[in-house]
Amino acid sequence: MDIFPENGHGACKPQFPARKDHPFKPVGIEEPSLARPIPTNKFYGNFLVGSRLEPTWLHPYSVWWSKSSPGFGLSVAHTEPGQRVFGPDPSQTPAQYYYNPVRIQSICFSAKEMEENTTDMSIDDPQHMSATLYFKSKANPRRQYIRFPLVQGSAFVTAEYHGISPIFASGVRFRSFQQNFVSNRRSRSTIVLEDGHTWLLYTFSESRDDQPLCLRFASNERIEGDRVFWGIIQLIKIPRHCEQASFQRLTDACAGRWATAATLNAQSLSDSVARYTIRFHTHPNSYSSQLLMYALPHHVQSFAHDSRVNKYSNFQMQSTTKGSMTAIVGDEWCFEESNLPCYIGFDPVADHGLSGEARNLLRRVVLQEAGGDPQAESNLNSMYFSGKALDKFACLCWVIAAVLGDQELAQSTLLKLKRAFARFEQNAQQFPLVYDELWGGVVARGLYDNGDWMQDFGNGCYNDHHFHYGYFIHTAAIIAKLDLLLGNGGGWYNENRGYVDTLIRDIACANEQDQFFSLSRSFDWFHGHSWAKGIFESQDSKDEESTSEDAYCSYALKLWGQVSGNKRLEHRANLMLAIQRRVFCNYFLLEDDNPNQPAQIIGNKVAGILFENKVDHTTYFGHELRYIQGIHMIPVSPISRYIRSQKFIREEWERFFANDDNTGNDGWKGILYSNLSIIDPGRAKDFFASEAFNPAWIDGGTTRAWSLAMCL
């Protein structure tokens, strides 16, 4: 069964009031692209906001708009492991963070006609895994420009020159340069920089221009073309520690072909097996039949056995924060994930065969917590904290109905939850939602009301939407499921379906033709996880702070797909969870033998905040150890057992929390022990069942009853 695209909804206008006055407007975007929803959390975001001077990571390269000497244009860099900066004490292991230095200008694509006051930079056709960058002459934008297709995983940085005279600059400086002509219209230049690294520069003249482009070594900072040029110029770095002649043979065969965009499709082969394919679209006037790209470690691990690609494991380039990338030749990357979490449902426990003692204990706790008031607790100015408050009562309702089997108490508690949820479905919360027509998404009105761009963690600027709305979707899935179990009919589901489906379209739209929402706002199918950062300029680009809330959102999509009968959504979410499990193990949740993160970081056990260019073992809200580790646990749910390996949990617990003093005396303590239930349910149960249990140890987004049920 094909699970992309998602049919329906594409022409359905969101139910929220529309606003055209978002205070943060996209900068430098081509007019045709303004007519469509604009992706907000994608890799090229720095080209859309602020100064537009911060880098964009294609992986393995970074590119940025440079305006200063020695080169005005698009600069290219690649950093090696030895260039990483560890800190704050570089001699300490584990280090708190590492980052890759930015703006080391290896080579800059420029032109004689390009200067700051004569050139515009703009972006066009922003898609899920690609965008197109233009440098255009202000005087003659249709006839004089350079076009750069920006595609994740590109092995070559490709520039299409149109009626403009090429110049190449370097802040690192050129040590040597040699141009070899393969034919009248094709050349390969070997460039050695003063840092010792070698780059290859390929030129291809268009058919209208049957003369070779001759390049001249003008200075150690500048290489110049001899004339106005129409054609393709491609730049590629030779990896360190490889046989250069062999790599050059590969690049000679592949040069002249380049990706312009990438699309995604996926199929469910069975409940437990799915495939997804990234298809790279290439320019129709390519000069080669072979496309060379670079794949991340999780890609290489999951290539389908019959995937029609050639892997060159002897040619690897270092990524910034995700290990070594492998050279791949092939237009279509087909991946297969088995062991999808099709067997994981709503229940915190595998079966309900509770002993009498356990049932009595759980009932005592439930009776204490069922008296809570979800309407009051969710009446907040934050979609994030409101969603957590609703979700904790939804999980409590599940324990009452499905674990204890107390239908009367379940009905009364569920009714309170429905009344609390109604405030949000009716959009009557403190900061109602609006549909932002400028970017194309659902945001909280607080930004418009008070001008605070960080209101609710930046929800108005598209930060963290998958975290925020995931809690609402999970709550709705439980309510709809309990209505079926308790014989309440489908009235509530029918009344609330439009609201929930709109939230899903905002964070996980699967229809490229949707007129109101961009494809997969949060989840990045190339990187295999979501990016939390929205329309904010950032030197280190996009980032993710909570793997567990990322997975919880996918889990919520899975459950909503199940209760709504949307098999495509359910299977797609199962696939996302399988990919997240693989990706988190590779880059975020660090077992002692992790091969992808530096040895100086692995002792932290979690990445902390993983940026495209930096890993920082901290959080945005504090540097306490229990926060940093716990934000990758919260909320502990049935999907946690699938995402977090027992080996990892054991290593992390023994390193940091075997001494109970490190667990603190607040709600994070309960999170840590709930996580422990995955490997040691007996000890976790003793903690939550203790007569001396302190209610302060329960996080505001969960209940003691749910935590106990996870142990039983």
Joined together, the tokens standing for residue 145 give 């420009």
Rounded mean pLDDT, 20-25: 96
**Is 517 in contact with 505 (CB distance < 8 Å)?**
yes
Facing residues of 589 across strands? Answer: 606
User: How confident is residue 211, by pLDDT bands cut at 50, 70 and 90?
Assistant: confident
pLDDT at 614 over 70: yes
- pLDDT tier at 67 (50, 70, 90 boundaries)? very high
- What DSSP character marks residue 238? P
- List, by residue number, the catalytic residues: 464, 545, 549
pLDDT at 7 over 80: no
What is the per-residue pLDDT across 302-318, written as a single tens digit (0 to 9) for each?
999 999 999 999 999 99
- In order of 90, 327, 453, 591, 616, the CA distances from 597 in angstroms are 16, 19, 33, 10, 12
In sequence order, the β-bridge partners of residue 145 are 136, 162
CA distance 712 to 709: 5
Under a CB-based contact definition with an 8 Å cutoff, are residues 482 and 398 in contact? Answer: yes
State residue 32's pLDDT score: 87
As a whole-number percent, the residues of the chain with pLDDT over 90 amount to 93
The pLDDT assigned to 349 comes to 80
Euclidean distance between CA atoms 670 and 695, whole angstroms:
9
Describe the crossing of helices 491-508 and 547-564 by its angle, rounded to 10 degrees: 140
Closest to 398 (Cα-Cα) out of 410, 416, 386: 410
Interatomic CA distance for residues 331 and 281, integer angstroms = 7
Residue identified by tokens 């003692």 is 357
- Asked if the model's pLDDT at residue 392 lies above 90, the reply is yes
pLDDT of residue 10: 62
State the Cα–Cα distance between residues 556 and 549, nearest whole angstrom.
Answer: 10
CA distance 218 to 214: 12
Whose CA is closest to 502, among 515, 517, 489? Answer: 517
Q: How far is CA 247 from CA 43, 238, 287, 317, in A?
A: 28, 7, 19, 12
Q: Find the largest Cα–Cα distance for the chain.
A: 88
Residue type, 414: L
55: cis peptide before it, omega within 30°? Answer: no
Q: Looking at beta carbons, which pairs linking 49-53 to residues 24 or more positions away fall under 8 Å?
A: 49/24, 49/535, 49/536, 49/537, 50/536, 50/537, 51/537, 52/27, 52/28, 52/121, 52/537
| Residues facing residue 264 across a β-bridge | 278
d(CA 240, CA 474): 47
Count CB-CB contacts under 10 A for residue 172.
17
Q: What is the pLDDT of residues 625-635, one digit of tens each?
A: 999 999 999 99
Single-letter amino acid, residue 104: I
Burial 390-424 (b: 16+ CB within 10 A, else e): bbbbbbbbbbbbbbbebeebbbebbebbbebbebb
Q: b/e per residue, 502-515, with b = 16+ CB within 10 A?
A: bbbbbbbbbbbebe
Give dist(CA 104, CA 132) in Å, integer. Answer: 23
State the pLDDT at residue 369: 97
Phi, psi (deg, nearest 5) at residue 499: -60, -50
Judge contact between 605 and 589, C-beta under 8 A.
yes
Q: Is there a contact between 130 and 151 (Cβ–Cβ < 8 Å)?
A: yes
N-terminal to C-terminal alpha carbon distance within the chain? 36
Nearby residues of 624 by Cβ (< 8 Å), 6 or more positions away: 664, 668
Give which of 136, 149, 164 is closest to 56, Cα–Cα. 149
What's at 290, amino acid-wise?
Q
CA distance 524 to 20: 27
Residue 209 confidence (pLDDT): 65
Confidence of residue 475 (pLDDT cuts 50, 70, 90): very high
Give the CA radius of gyration of the chain. Answer: 27
Partners of residue 168 on adjacent β-strands: 109, 223
Beta strands 543-544 and 609-611 are: antiparallel
Residue 419 has pLDDT above 90, yes or no: yes
3-state secondary structure of 63: strand
Confidence of residue 352 (pLDDT cuts 50, 70, 90): low
CA gap 516, 509 in Å, rounded: 10
Determine the Cα–Cα distance for residues 313 and 57; give it in Å rounded to an integer: 22
Q: What is the pLDDT of residues 501-532, one digit of tens each?
A: 999 999 999 999 999 999 999 999 999 999 99
Angle, helices 681-689 vs 667-676, to 10°: value is 150
CB 508 within 8 A of CB 521: yes
Asked if 508 contacts 557 with a C-beta cutoff of 8 angstroms, the reply is yes
Averaged pLDDT for residues 178-186: 92
- Computed over every residue of the chain, the mean pLDDT equals 96
Confidence of residue 9 (pLDDT cuts 50, 70, 90): low
> Backbone phi, then psi, for 315, in 5-degree steps?
-120, 105
CA distance 310 to 328: 6
